Structure 1
């Protein structure tokens, strides 16, 4: 009897440890996901354009295809890479984070530049009736998944960096440490994918729901439906603006912190000083003032860096990638196709 009680006590202890581990994973996943807010908002803002122009009955299937590709990107490709980095090259995390931050700055600055100097974006419209719709759908889905891969890489790198910081100096080592990291990254990957593509599905179908409510109902419900239809275009524009601002702010923040960690402290310390001064001006709203000031100057630096990257990308980075990286990916893809055959 005493042995049974001892066994039950051990089982209860193990259950408590397991529950604590789950709580730790969930808590760290929430914090890591929050750090990736800029990339997440942009992901949600960018994706709807890939279903624009298709029949309403194809919108949700297309979103589902993109979501499955996003899960594959995060879980099958990026999660193992993140664990390998954590195990064998943790020193690479910060440079990769800055590379991703530079991409966010570039994308955000490019959107600002194109807003000032409008141009045609092939993703923004669909010329109905031209070409094979199924092939066009495949092309759009493939393009969306490629875009998602870049944003997912940034999200997973930000999450990995945050998890590494949260676990620094902790008791977990070896397999337990990497198991926890894998668990956190897996939760982040699933949660962010569900949030992003669930939100995209709601956004894309909102106007259809509004039209249906206006046609099939009367009174308040019909008025609400008409209100939804009128509201959605402005909401989409606002979402695009918020997504762009978030990209630039988060990208700038990553660059400033990366430079600080690499030994160039001037930008970080100057912004920190401005944030403290703003907090002292309005002590009753010190936290908000400090955050807003930091975000503002991070955004300004992010925008400047992004604008610098636009000509660098057009005249140096993209041509170099077309000569080196694109043929490499084509060769790898060809090898996989031969092996499948």
Structure 2
């Protein structure tokens, strides 16, 4: 016969209240007691702080991303604007010192007895005389595009030519080499060619083969260029452009006859700002001239002045693009 457990005595508390006694715990989490409410509040506070920090970080990240995007768009718009503008900025150089002779169609030129160092050059303005055999200029180019700019050479356009000027020949004061801090890139054009192309300058100052010294400039880089235009047969008026490429696109930059060293050039006769002249003029040495003149230095060591003296025009002989002066001792100017 199976054992029968003894009857259990009723719990006095439950007996007195009529409430069943709680079953004894046999497992699970222990009773946390009176501090469990404080732990919940702490967890709620920590969770709230973490959530707020997450929102703040998300807002800051969005703002920074938005600001960076706007900055990138502004930079891109600025770069595109620069790309649409001129590839090069052109200012005056220092290495070009001009031809040895000038010519005029007129055989009657009047002169003062004496000129100062500054006023003597008024005689050689393009409106009065034309360079003989060779004209040109020196310019400094600075890259303005954000991308690399490559300079390939020069093109001649709007060329109009006629017979050489044979009225009067006039030599300017000797000034020597214009000087330059760094050697310029030199190039030349033969205007007597049916299709003038840019050529190298040889060691003896002649024209060599096709131009081989193409160069590139990054944004802000600068380089001086000296370009000359030559003729042995005619008088020519023309314009010229630099040929450059940037981002695969071809650009032409007009070359001024006398580029200003500063942002503006001044008309000496009026003192007002003047637009640069873009029309070059040059005349070949004529077989003979009606009259010829030389600029002669006068005065003492305290002051440099110049006078213009007539010489025998028969002492001038054309030699390619040059005029050779070989005076006879009996007719030589003082």
Q: TM range, normalised to the smaller chain?
A: under 0.3
Higher strand share: 2
TM-score normalised per structure 1: 0.23
Q: Which of structures 1 and 2 has the bigger CA Rg?
A: 2
Higher RCO (C-alpha 8 Å, min separation 6)? 1
Higher helix share: 1
